[in-house]
Amino acid sequence: MNNNELVNKLKTIVKPYIQDEEAFANLSENTDFITDLKINSANLVDVALDVEDEFDITIENEEMEKMLNVKAAIDIVKAKLGK
């Protein structure tokens, strides 16, 4: 799966939790979940759980620590799928 495909999958996952439509429409690898998409921090846990379900992976709490933006989320998924 290339980065574009991953970004698109992630876009579908975060959609229910975003509060800034404009930032969502312009979502890229540099988009921050909290400062750009205005995702509520309790919903960041939902994002992590939905990512686990979508890619059939387990994200450890230490890995979730960095999952604050699209790029970090993609890196985690890629590392997991690559194993």
Partner 1 sequence: MIGNDIVDLNLARCSHRWQNYRFIEKIFSTKEQKLISKWIDPFQCIWRLWSMKESAYKSHLRSFGKTFFSPSKFECRLFSTTEGMITISDQQYRVTTVMEKEFIYSTAFSNKAKTTVSDYFRIKDTSYMSQHSKTYEGLILTFSNLYGMKPSHLNVKKNELGIPCMYYQNHPLRIPISLTHHGHYCAYVIEPKTVVF
Contacting positions for partner 1 (CB under 8 A):
19-20, 34-35, 38, 40-42, 44-46, 48-49, 52, 61-62, 64-68
Q: Name the minimum Å distance from CB 9 to partner 1.
A: 20
- Token pair, residue 14, equals 């975060």
Q: Name the minimum Å distance from CB 71 to partner 1.
A: 14
Question: Which CB sits closer to partner 1, 1 or 16?
Answer: 16
**Measured at the alpha carbon of residue 12, what is the angle toward residues 26 and 57, in degrees to the nearest 5?**
125
Helices (H), 1-83: 3-14, 21-25, 41-55, 61-64, 70-82
